[in-house]
């Protein structure tokens, strides 16, 4: 076996999984106003950006060849309510951001998060009852409306990340009724109730709202794999164009099983906690950041992921360009 490993050209020729900038999606955190850019302390190198700053970052991503960005809002706490109604504001932060990016970067893929947790004062992904239980059907109605708001603004892909039952079907039918036949749905089909989301919740301001509560009544148990196949199959049947597995590195087996079983595009989310661990270890001098990031991203590709949402995207794209 060592003969094909002896020289670089041979290793290149027999390499089974390749990583390209075209496999990367850059998640971005957007905040309203001017001069309000702030660092996300738990995610070194990541910032919450106002629209003007965000446009510059997206311009850099486009220059590097990154094909798409995913938007996540940090809205003013005064706008947060129990029912997350600010998510439906056609003049809200996300629609305005999408419209600006669509104008500035017409070829860029724009992905929007369809979920209510950034907009609720309790931090859950939906409308809750008196006992704090998330109401499925009422939430689904709101999510379908939110998806239309994003499509109206120019989003290419709406990505429901809430894990409500039946929301993909409701969104697909609503998009079709409004004439958005080419708007894609990226379903967070296997989203686990993971401990790796902490830094993200800090970034979008939902950690404080959520408090000591959790999302185990609708996100998946990390112990379950067969259930993930059931969830993914349901979302595909309801009209999802692409399915997501989240988190990524701890769930490579789910990515592989999904790809082998369904043969559809599978995306992975290299989540905030995974990002933060590599950054922290690299800053301590314990690992080679570049080597570990690229190895991790190749692992997603090897498992079967067509694309990876990763906060490493700008660095990785630069490294791949210079390789």
pLDDT for the residue numbered 37: 94
Question: How far is 278 from 54, CA to CA, in rounded Å?
Answer: 24
End-to-end CA distance of the chain, in Å? 26
Residue 1 included in any domain: no
Give the model's confidence band at 201: pLDDT under 50 very low, under 70 low, under 90 confident, else very high: confident
14 within some domain: no
Burial 116-132 (b: 16+ CB within 10 A, else e): bbbbbebbbbbbbeeee
Per the annotation, the verdict on 246 as an active-site residue is: yes
Each residue of 263-292: pLDDT tens digit? Answer: 999 999 999 999 999 999 999 999 999 999
Domain-located, residue 261: no
Residue percentage of the chain with pLDDT more than 70: 98
Domain count, the chain: 1
Q: Is 191 a catalytic residue?
A: yes
Structure tokens belonging to residue 26:
């850059």
In a domain, 34, yes or no: yes
Please check whether residue 227 lies inside any domain of the structure.
Answer: yes
**Predicted confidence (pLDDT) per residue in 207-233, tens digit:** 666 777 789 999 999 999 999 999 999
Q: In 123-185, where does DSSP find H-type helix?
A: 136-153, 167-177
Domain annotation covers residue 231:
yes
**Mean pLDDT for the stretch of residues 40-55:** 95
Determine which one of 80, 191, 215, 259 is catalytic: 191
In what helix (H) or strand (E) does residue 31 lie, and over which residues does it extend?
strand 24-31
- pLDDT, position 245: 98
Given the residues 80, 215, 246, 279, the one annotated as active site: 246
User: What is the pLDDT, as a whole number, of residue 264?
Assistant: 97
| CATH code of the domain in which 181 resides | 3.20.20.70
Which residue in 200, 291, 308, 185 sits closest to 252, CA to CA? Answer: 308
Entry pTM: 0.95
Question: Alpha-carbon distance 67 to 283, whole Å?
Answer: 29
Is 300 part of any domain?
no
Give the list of residues 6+ apart from residue 35 with CB closer than 8 angstroms, or none: 50
Task: Look at residue 207 in the predicted model and tell me its pLDDT.
Answer: 64
Please tell me the predicted confidence (pLDDT) of residue 322.
Answer: 85
CA dist., res. 310 & res. 40, Å (int): 15
Of 136, 158, 140, nearest in space to 149 by CA: 158
Q: 224 is in which domain, residue-wise?
A: 19-244
């Amino acid at each position: 076996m060592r003969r094909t490993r002896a020289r670089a050209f041979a290793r290149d020729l027999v390499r089974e999984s390749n990583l390209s900038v075209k496999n990367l999606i850059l998640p971005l955190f957007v905040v309203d106003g001017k001069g309000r850019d702030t660092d996300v302390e738990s995610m070194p190198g990541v910032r919450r950006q106002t629209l003007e700053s965000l446009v510059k970052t997206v311009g850099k991503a486009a220059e590097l060849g990154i094909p798409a960005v995913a938007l996540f809002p940090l809205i003013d706490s005064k706008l947060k309510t129990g029912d997350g109604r600010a998510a439906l504001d056609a003049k809200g932060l996300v629609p305005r951001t999408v419209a600006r990016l669509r104008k500035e970067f017409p070829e860029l893929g724009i992905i929007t998060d369809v979920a209510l947790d950034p907009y609720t004062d309790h931090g859950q992904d939906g409308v809750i009852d008196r006992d704090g239980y998330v109401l499925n059907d009422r939430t689904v109605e709101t999510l379908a409306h939110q998806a239309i708001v994003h499509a109206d603004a120019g989003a290419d892909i709406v990505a429901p990340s809430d894990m409500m039952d039946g929301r993909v079907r409701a969104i697909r039918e609503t998009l079709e009724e409004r004439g958005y036949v080419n708007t894609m749905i990226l379903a967070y089909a296997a989203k686990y109730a993971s401990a790796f989301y902490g830094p993200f919740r800090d970034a979008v301001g939902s950690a404080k709202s959520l408090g000591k509560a959790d999302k185990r009544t609708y996100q998946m148990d990390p112990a379950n794999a067969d259930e993930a196949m059931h969830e993914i199959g349901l979302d595909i049947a309801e009209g999802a164009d692409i399915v997501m597995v989240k988190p990524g590195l701890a769930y490579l087996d789910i990515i592989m099983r999904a790809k082998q079983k369904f043969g559809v595009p599978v995306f992975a989310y290299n989540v905030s906690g995974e990002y933060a661990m590599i950054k922290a270890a690299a800053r301590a001098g314990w690992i080679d950041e570049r080597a570990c990031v690229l190895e991790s991203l190749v692992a997603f590709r090897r498992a079967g992921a067509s694309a990876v949402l990763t906060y490493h995207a700008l660095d990785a794209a630069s490294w791949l360009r210079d390789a």
